[in-house]
Amino acid sequence: MFVSMQKRMINLGGLVLLLPLLLLLPLLLMGCAGSEDTPTLPTKHWGDIEVKVETRPPKIKVGMVEFVVIAAAHGRKPSNDLVVSLRMEGREKWHQSIQDGFLGVYRRVVNVRDPAKDVLAVKLRVKKTDNEKILYFPLALQQAKAVAAP
């Protein structure tokens, strides 16, 4: 009986130590949420597909930058039947992005040499067809929005 009572005390002690962490967790997660002030690249359209590009880090810097391409038909239904490739315009090699589930989200890291002059080229191709389109996103437009924001 004494052994089982001791185990209960240890379990209660662990709970008492975890309780403050559980109370702080929502506050910590709120700090990770994005803000409305995050600069974005302009949205482009290809037929009924709306294409948005986000970056990680949110403000583009020289070096490796993750580009997140979000494709949605009519702005709502995920376009998950695409092959999305990225490159900086003027460079030869296309980099195929990784599809993030069936959410119409595609990710790829690309090297940025000059955020003021580089232009991201996004090649969209519908799977199992020859139907494709290249959209261009000047990175300077994100920089201009960041400067114009109060």
Asked if residue 28 is part of any domain, the answer here is yes
> Looking at the domain assignment, is residue 39 inside a domain?
no
In a shared domain, residues 105 and 72 = yes
pLDDT digits (tens, 9 = 90+) for 27-60: 555 555 555 556 779 999 999 999 999 999 999 9
Q: What's the CA gap between 107 and 85, in Å, rounded? A: 9
- Residue 137 pLDDT: 97
Same domain, 22 and 68: no
Residues 85 and 20 in one domain: no
- CA neighbor of 59 nearest in space, from 112, 122, 108: 112
pLDDT for 141 beyond 80: yes
Contact 109, 100 (CB under 8 A): no
Distance CA 32, CA 47 (A): 34
Residue 63 and residue 12 in one domain = no
Give the tens place of pLDDT for each residue, 64-117.
999 999 999 987 899 999 999 999 998 889 999 999 999 999 999 999 999 999
In this prediction, residue 92 carries a pLDDT of 83
Instruction: Supply 133's token pair.
Output: 């389109």
pLDDT at 40: 78
Q: Are residues 22 and 86 in the same domain?
A: no
The per-residue pLDDT for 16 is: 57
Over range 3-27, report the average pLDDT: 57
- Same domain (yes/no): 91, 144: yes
The reply to whether 132 and 80 lie within a common domain is yes
CATH number at residue 137: 2.60.40.10
Backbone angles phi, psi at 73, to 5 degrees: -75, 130
Nearest residue to 117 (alpha-carbon basis) of 77, 148, 90:
90
Residue 3 shares a structural domain with residue 53? no
In a domain, 95, yes or no: yes
Instruction: Kindly report the pTM of this predicted structure.
Output: 0.71
49 and 123 inside one domain? yes
Give yes or no: residues 87 and 138 share one domain. yes
Confidence bin at 124 (pLDDT 50/70/90)? very high
Domain count, the chain: 2
- Secondary structure (H, E, C), the chain: CHHHHHHHHHHHHHHHHHHHHHHHHHHHHHHHCCCCCCCCCCCEEECCEEEEEEEECCCCCCEEEEEEEEEEECCCEECCCEEEEEEECCCCCCEECEECCCCCEEEEEEEECCCCCCEEEEEEEECCCCCEEEEEEECHHHHHHHHHCC
Question: Does residue 50 sit in the same domain as residue 12?
Answer: no
Confidence of residue 142 (pLDDT cuts 50, 70, 90): confident
Residues 83 and 48 in one domain: yes
Inside any domain, residue 99: yes
CB of 68 closer than 8 Å to CB of 86: no
Instruction: Give the range of the structural domain holding residue 2, as residue numbers without chain letter.
Output: 1-33
